[in-house]
Structure 1
Amino acid sequence: MKRINWNNAVAMIILFTLVLFIGIATSSKVMASSTPYYTYTTDNEDGGVKTSDAYTPGEQILEAGGESFKTLEYVYVDHEDYIYITDSGRAKVFIFDKDLNFIDVIEYNGSVSGADDGFYAVNSIYVTEEKIYIPDSFRNSVFVFDREAILNRDQQYFLWMEDIDDSDSLSTGDVFYLNEEIDGVSTPIGEPVFVVEVTGQNADNRDIVLFKDYETGEELFTKVDKAEMIGKILNWVTYDYDGTDVLKFNIYAAKNEPIQVITTPTAPVFQEGYLFAPKKVVVDTRGNLYIVGAQSNNGLIMLNAEGEFLTFFGGNPLRTPFIDQIRSFILTDIQKEKLRNENLISIDYVSSVAIDEKGFIYTVTSTLENDVIKKYNVSGKNYFSSDALGWVGAVDLWVGDYGNVVVVEEFGWINEYNSNGQLIFTFSVSDAGIDRVGLLSLPKSIAIDSKDRLLVVDQGNKLLQIYEPTAFTNAVHTALQAYQDGDEDLARVNWKSTLEYATIFDLAHIGLGDAYIRQGDYESALVEYKLASYKAGISNTYWQVRQDWMEENLELVFFVVLMLFVGRWIFKILNKKYDYTKGLRNKFKELRTKSRTVDELSYIPEFIKHPLDGYYQIKRKDRVSVKTATIIYGMLAVVFVMYYEVTNIIFLEKTNVNILYELIILGSVLILWVIANYFICLINDGEGSFKNVYVSTAMSFTPLLFVAPVIILLSNVLTYQEAVFYSVPLAFTLIWVSIYFFFMIKEIHNYEVGETVNIIFKSMFTMLIMGIFVFVVYSLNSQIFTVSTEIARELIER
């Protein structure tokens, strides 16, 4: 027989196990992704859940008309899908069409008269159907342009000129001819186009030149000599055109001239030094401007269409340390201003602003961690959910066509919310040093076009990144739009479609529930809301389901209740005469006699009625044993589990909890209490033993055994409107138990009232210290185990 090579066999087994493990590990991914990032949504407890890709990286815009970007700041998409990208480094706005083709550039070097200085650092842009608003914080101005004039301005072209007097300048009588070739080299064509007439000079002694139609003499336009109309002579062409020498000139495009420049308002607050440095702006249907100003600690600056100051709007409340809040009551105004100047009061400046078609103003603040997004009506009331998830670093936002809000953070996260503030998608596009398409270095601005594409400015990489929506996202957006349009059938179909991409997608279940409600199917809506643990929806829908059931079964309910009362009354009469329950009573008495545990458990109702006597019985006569107390603790654990598993979800602060973990926490707290209280009382002349503390603590909880199950069961037929019937009995029971605890310590250890209060605080403080110690030991457990193992190995080897 051939001998087995065990070394090879073991090696093969290890190799097979390793291959199997790798296969299982690689095949057990929850969600694959074709993008360089993962997309997440939230569950009913706002926990992150990996889901299908919402957006995939698309095209990039790296330059405009051959000119590279320098310091990109902002992107805006208007109602016709023209894309505007602001570049503060070049002091320009680049315009692209919906197909990402470069169209034109907005640049402004100041007026001829010198009334304003033109762009210095273009911060952002806002476009209406008629106007374009460009704020410049360095110029302390908002430049307003005519949109049609910008989008349809005359472009650069070539002309040939006949210099009548050979003066090398524009003179009366000079004639211009059009050129049909782009390269500007071909022969002038056709008849002359313009004839020039110098009509005078301006205040700067520059010629004012009138251009007339060559044939009709009609006055067409006026320019200030060739510096305004004609560029340098590109080349001298001595060409015999009908016996005349002609020259080639480059005709500049029409200049971008603002129709209005809004500067620092004349309101006293600005004249007294309040900074007007507009960075971002939106405009409502009345022409009012809402401006994000640099270091505007009062919020948005609201101006009317003429640039007159109206009010401050939508500011964030000041964050003042608690001690300074107390000090502020006794400080003078001068001292408060000094406190603010010392930066002891945190001011959260608004980072960006947006407006929707209904006129709601949205703001986002990069320094806030909570309540990051706000949605204001005209009176300044915030309608966006304060519970909406957000993170520090949000720099810009955009409101989509479906009421959805997208926010970009400078650390790379892009978040999309529905109109109620619930997070739909979130994904991180931070490059983290990795050079891949779709990953960004420093996101600064975000917009959405009519195709639902995300356009994100990456200032770090000097580009505009496009993200294409996936079928999953299109289904979500279609469902949102269908619901807004009142098409519940289409909304329901699309919400169900989204669940094919993501099985855990609470927003879909909520959307289905909303659609069912509009169709009057409250029972189906209730099922969907429960799947999403949507508490408000569960409460409102259950109220209607309960109402419908009561209307159909009210007579039956009254009949059953009446029969129960009648049956109980008849039974009492018959039992009084024939004593049907005598056998049960005798059996129970016999059982109490034979079993001490049953007897002690039967003592609970009497203890609840007379707790002071009960504590005396426990302390002096050993009325309740450790075994029975332990059973009571077990019963409390059952009630605790029942609370999480049976209570109506709308009354639970936490859902989907780890019951075992919660039980361990509860047990640990009780153990710490018993130990801490015993030792504190031991060193403070307390009379109770450890057993007394252990048993009496259990007995003090007994009211919960009777009241809590009833409250828990009752909660399942209540809604938020009847929450008082749940919260008040529960609060009453907890107060009841607290009173028992107070008298437990007083009677078991024979303290006065003042001593009892002192012992309670000392016990709680001791619990805290012991808990911290246990946590530290637990945290160091792995290190201690490793060190102990190493020491043991060292001793064995020696």
Structure 2
Amino acid sequence: MKKISEKRQNKSSFKNILKRSIGIALIGISLVWNADVLTAHADAPYKTYTVDGYNSVTETQTAYLPYKTITKIGDESLMTPTDFTLLDDGTMYVLDSGNKRVVVGDADGNLVTTFGEGVLVGPKGIYVTDKHITYVADRDAKSIFVFDENGELIHTYTRPQVAMYGDALDFLPLKIVVNSSGTMYIVCESNTNGIVEISPVDNGTFLGYFGTNATSASVWTIVWRALLTDAQRAKMVGNIPATPDNMAIDEKGIIYTVTRGEGDDTLKRLNIAGVNMISDPGKSDTVPAAIAVGNHDNFFVVSQQGFIYEYNNEGQLLFMFGGKDDGQQRIGLSTKAEAIQIGSDDKIYVLDSDKAQIQVYEPTEFTDYLHEALYLFSKGRYEESKEPLSQVLMMNNLFDYANMAMGKALYKEGDYEGALKYAKLSRDNDLYSDSFWEIRNIWLKKNLSTVIVIILVLIVLNKIIKYLDNKKNILSKPKAFVQKIKNQKLVAQLRYIFFYMRHPIDGNYGIKRQNKVSVLASNILLALMIVFYIINKYFCGFMFKTVREGQFDVASDIIMILVGLFLIVGCNYLMCTINDGEGKFKAIYCSFIYSASPFLVFMPFIFALSHVVTYNEEFFVSFGSFCMVCWILVLIFIAIREINNYTVGETFKIIGLTVFTILIVCLLAFIIYVLWSQVFDFLQSLVGEVVYRIGG
């Protein structure tokens, strides 16, 4: 009985401890749940990506970690907030659109004030100056409301009453920014003329439209519209520019805009003349929601799904992270992002209208070093930027932007060898070209006289040898040996390419009637062409290389060339046979190989040239390649005509039929591949089912 009593006492004390633990846990959960600010320092629930020198998206270190989630300002909850502004002192102005008011909080999350009640109708955008003057774009009220630092209404701007604005256009403001002189830039719904620019002078003076998006039309659209009648054209959808979705302004008055569906023009950085200063934009989202200016000559874009993009001032993508919440309410993920702001401490604030909260992200050490280098580099302090860049590269030596910046810093210092190294690592062709030009220039200054002397010596030596050969015939034996090699049948067939290139009509006659070439010689030439192609593809000059450094796929290259060649030759032979062509398969095959002989002759020179030119002389490589391709196409045309005894018109007809046949063969191959894949999947599932049942 005593043991049973002890067991009951132990069991009872265990229950008490368990109850206390659960109670403490519930209190803790309740405290966290009811807190105004939820703070979390866990690992990021997303991956971070960047763009490498090949313009491919690649994973990198975590750039920003979820820091906290703001669900209330003081005791005030938000309802469908659509915009907010964050000042340098940490004061936050949130446009609480669902409650038709502005909620102001301090840096600690405490409520300062609310205002706008009874004035705002359907507010969509907000902007606050350093002096705490608040501008609210109210779509439903068709007005811009201006409040002073105490939240009192001091100005109301409505639709500009001037003809230049557009008689048929309504005034439906969605977003607003203001420059240092008080000029307002307003995005209006359905106004495709651009951003509305209003001066505060005379209670609102319309200055015109700013940063209008361009329109574009395909060639097919232009031709089609030209063929239609006026009535038909009137029914077509008009080719009108898109309205920007959101914008931001920096301390210099530069306007940043985002416009969905604009491709390369999704992001714009507009100077005072309205000219876009982003010439080569990086990766961008198709549905951008908002844009914000950073503290280091950088800017940020957030998409509606919560993906955050960071760019430098030239539009190059630095980081991409974040994402859409799948319903698990994970910190750092959004449902519908509406606005983004950057704090003076580089924290990122993202407003989620569906969750009625603000997600906050803090930069990692890796990002802090990059920002420091970015700022120093943009200010021309290249020597100072090398230290933080070195720290970034120690953490990730494959981060291409850091390699590019380090290369440019070294170039500014005159270390062209070092700049060339980092240009290769970052795949920066412009930096590589500039660095190589300087290195080549230095080499020429040091060695040009020596090169000239060597050339003169070689010329004189050549003259002496020719003179001695004419007098004493000292080269008789070497000449006899070379002539003996040339007289070899296979060698003569290989050398026939030089005659064929200069006299294609006679050359094709020799292939067709005189057996001047053989299949063996053609196969050797084809093998040489494949070797030249592979060497040029993987080992050409850095600026002309199109494949990733160190990446080789030689087997696929060989298969592609062989399949393509025999597909062209086979389809051409088939069409020629059907259309009374005289050429046999051997003659057609050999003529096609010999028609490509300019590739064998000129590619070594183009390959060598690609290693010694910069962008200033790139034309020579491009023009040489263009001439080589044109020469090959002309030789192929003459080969088809001469081998089959066609007229010019018949030759064009055969070429068209050959191209059509190739397309049909490719389509059939694709259909067979798809059907076989389905049969294979069926057989695989059938075998798996049988094995499962036997095993069961």
Q: Structure 2 residue aligned with 1:689, among 567, 580, 584?
A: 584
Letter in 1 for 2:93: Y
- The one-character-per-residue Cα deviations of 1:93-129 (angstroms, maximum 9, x if unpaired) are 22223333332223242xxxxxxxx211221212223
- The one-character-per-residue Cα deviations of 1:278-332 (angstroms, maximum 9, x if unpaired) are 1111222333222111111112111222322122122222355655433555789
Letter in 2 for 1:602: R
Letter in 2 for 1:308: T
Q: What are the within-5 Å matches in structure 2 for residues 61-72 of structure 1?
A: 61-72=70-81
Q: Structure 2 residue aligned with 1:633, among 507, 517, 526?
A: 526
* 652 and 55 in structure 1: CA distance in 2 versus 1, 3 angstrom threshold: same
- The one-character-per-residue Cα deviations of 1:555-581 (angstroms, maximum 9, x if unpaired) are 222222222322333333233334444
* 93 and 688 in structure 1: CA distance in 2 versus 1, 3 angstrom threshold: same
Letter in 1 for 2:87: D
Following the alignment from structure 1 to structure 2, what is the Cα–Cα distance between the partners of residues 575 and 771?
60
Letter in 2 for 1:622: N
Aligned residue in 2 for 1:608: 501
Aligned residue in 2 for 1:738: 633
Following the alignment from structure 2 to structure 1, what is the Cα–Cα distance between the partners of residues 211 and 166?
22
Aligned residue in 2 for 1:370: 264
Q: Structure 1 residue aligned with 2:205, among 308, 324, 335?
A: 308
Aligned residues: 644
Following the alignment from structure 2 to structure 1, what is the Cα–Cα distance between the partners of residues 616 and 627?
19
**Contact map agreement 1:55 1:469 (CA 8 A) in 2:** yes
2:123 is paired with a residue whose SS is coil
Q: What are the within-5 Å matches in structure 2 for residues 283-432 of structure 1?
A: 283-306=178-201, 307-320=204-217, 323-326=220-223, 328-329=225-226, 338-339=234-235, 343=237, 345=239, 347-432=241-326
Aligned residue in 1 for 2:418: 524
Q: Does 1:648 align with 2:551?
A: no
Aligned residue in 1 for 2:624: 729
RMSD over aligned Cα atoms: 2.6
Pairwise CA distance, 1:786: 4.4
Q: Does 1:448 align with 2:457?
A: no
* 298 and 518 in structure 1: CA distance in 2 versus 1, 3 angstrom threshold: same
Aligned residue in 2 for 1:92: 101
Following the alignment from structure 2 to structure 1, what is the Cα–Cα distance between the partners of residues 295 and 230?
46
**Contact map agreement 1:592 1:599 (CA 8 A) in 2:** yes
* 429 and 566 in structure 1: CA distance in 2 versus 1, 3 angstrom threshold: same
Pairwise CA distance, 1:623: 1.9
Following the alignment from structure 1 to structure 2, what is the Cα–Cα distance between the partners of residues 536 and 425?
22
- The one-character-per-residue Cα deviations of 1:239-260 (angstroms, maximum 9, x if unpaired) are xxxxxxxxxxxxxxxxx32222
Bigger CA drift: 464-473 or 644-653? 644-653
Aligned residue in 2 for 1:135: 137
Which consecutive residues of structure 2, in runs of 5 or more, have no partner in the other structure? 1-41, 691-696
Pairwise CA distance, 1:503: 3.0
Bigger CA drift: 259-268 or 380-389? 380-389
1:567 is paired with a residue whose SS is helix
Q: Does 1:541 align with 2:438?
A: no
Aligned residue in 2 for 1:568: 462
Pairwise CA distance, 1:700: 0.6
Following the alignment from structure 2 to structure 1, what is the Cα–Cα distance between the partners of residues 581 and 616?
48
Aligned residue in 1 for 2:162: 267
Q: Does 1:702 align with 2:603?
A: no
Q: Structure 2 residue aligned with 1:60, among 66, 69, 78?
A: 69
Which structure has the larger Rg over C-alpha atoms?
Answer: 1
Following the alignment from structure 1 to structure 2, what is the Cα–Cα distance between the partners of residues 393 and 750?
59
Following the alignment from structure 1 to structure 2, what is the Cα–Cα distance between the partners of residues 395 and 345?
23
Aligned residue in 1 for 2:23: none
- The one-character-per-residue Cα deviations of 1:584-605 (angstroms, maximum 9, x if unpaired) are 34334434555x4333212222
* 480 and 266 in structure 1: CA distance in 2 versus 1, 3 angstrom threshold: same
Pairwise CA distance, 1:620: 1.5
* 36 and 582 in structure 1: CA distance in 2 versus 1, 3 angstrom threshold: farther
- The one-character-per-residue Cα deviations of 1:431-457 (angstroms, maximum 9, x if unpaired) are 133331111111111111111111001
2:125 is paired with a residue whose SS is coil
1:85 is paired with a residue whose SS is strand
**Contact map agreement 1:59 1:465 (CA 8 A) in 2:** yes
* 101 and 695 in structure 1: CA distance in 2 versus 1, 3 angstrom threshold: farther
- The one-character-per-residue Cα deviations of 1:221-274 (angstroms, maximum 9, x if unpaired) are xxxxxxxxxxxxxxxxxxxxxxxxxxxxxxxxxxx3222211110111546121
Following the alignment from structure 1 to structure 2, what is the Cα–Cα distance between the partners of residues 39 and 664?
37
2:82 is paired with a residue whose SS is strand
1:301 is paired with a residue whose SS is strand
Following the alignment from structure 2 to structure 1, what is the Cα–Cα distance between the partners of residues 537 and 426?
17
Pairwise CA distance, 1:788: 6.2
1:444 is paired with a residue whose SS is strand
Letter in 2 for 1:763: T
- The one-character-per-residue Cα deviations of 1:514-566 (angstroms, maximum 9, x if unpaired) are 11122121221111111111011111221222222222222222222222322
Q: Percent identity?
A: 33
Pairwise CA distance, 1:670: 1.8
Aligned residue in 1 for 2:390: 496
* 789 and 86 in structure 1: CA distance in 2 versus 1, 3 angstrom threshold: closer
Letter in 2 for 1:444: E
Pairwise CA distance, 1:383: 1.2
Aligned residue in 1 for 2:171: 276
* 707 and 777 in structure 1: CA distance in 2 versus 1, 3 angstrom threshold: same
Following the alignment from structure 1 to structure 2, what is the Cα–Cα distance between the partners of residues 619 and 315?
64
Pairwise CA distance, 1:361: 1.6
Q: Structure 2 residue aligned with 1:666, among 541, 546, 561?
A: 561
Pairwise CA distance, 1:714: 1.0
Pairwise CA distance, 1:736: 0.9
**Contact map agreement 2:537 2:546 (CA 8 A) in 1:** no
* 280 and 632 in structure 1: CA distance in 2 versus 1, 3 angstrom threshold: same
Aligned residue in 1 for 2:32: none
**Contact map agreement 1:49 1:504 (CA 8 A) in 2:** no
Aligned residue in 1 for 2:111: 102
Following the alignment from structure 1 to structure 2, what is the Cα–Cα distance between the partners of residues 500 and 409?
31
Bigger CA drift: 408-417 or 369-378? 369-378
Bigger CA drift: 577-586 or 697-706? 577-586
* 504 and 772 in structure 1: CA distance in 2 versus 1, 3 angstrom threshold: farther
Pairwise CA distance, 1:677: 0.9
Q: Does 1:623 align with 2:478?
A: no
Q: Structure 2 residue aligned with 1:34, among 43, 47, 55?
A: 43
Following the alignment from structure 2 to structure 1, what is the Cα–Cα distance between the partners of residues 676 and 575?
28
Letter in 1 for 2:625: L
2:564 is paired with a residue whose SS is helix
Normalising by structure 2, we get a TM-score of: 0.87
Aligned residue in 2 for 1:439: 333
Q: What are the within-5 Å matches in structure 2 for residues 502-517 of structure 1?
A: 502-517=396-411
Following the alignment from structure 1 to structure 2, what is the Cα–Cα distance between the partners of residues 579 and 87?
101
* 498 and 670 in structure 1: CA distance in 2 versus 1, 3 angstrom threshold: same
Letter in 2 for 1:766: T
2:99 is paired with a residue whose SS is coil
Letter in 2 for 1:133: Y
* 737 and 332 in structure 1: CA distance in 2 versus 1, 3 angstrom threshold: closer
**Contact map agreement 2:74 2:110 (CA 8 A) in 1:** no
Which consecutive residues of structure 1, in runs of 5 or more, have no partner in the other structure? 1-32, 110-117, 151-255
Letter in 2 for 1:349: T
**Contact map agreement 2:126 2:175 (CA 8 A) in 1:** yes
Aligned residue in 1 for 2:452: 558
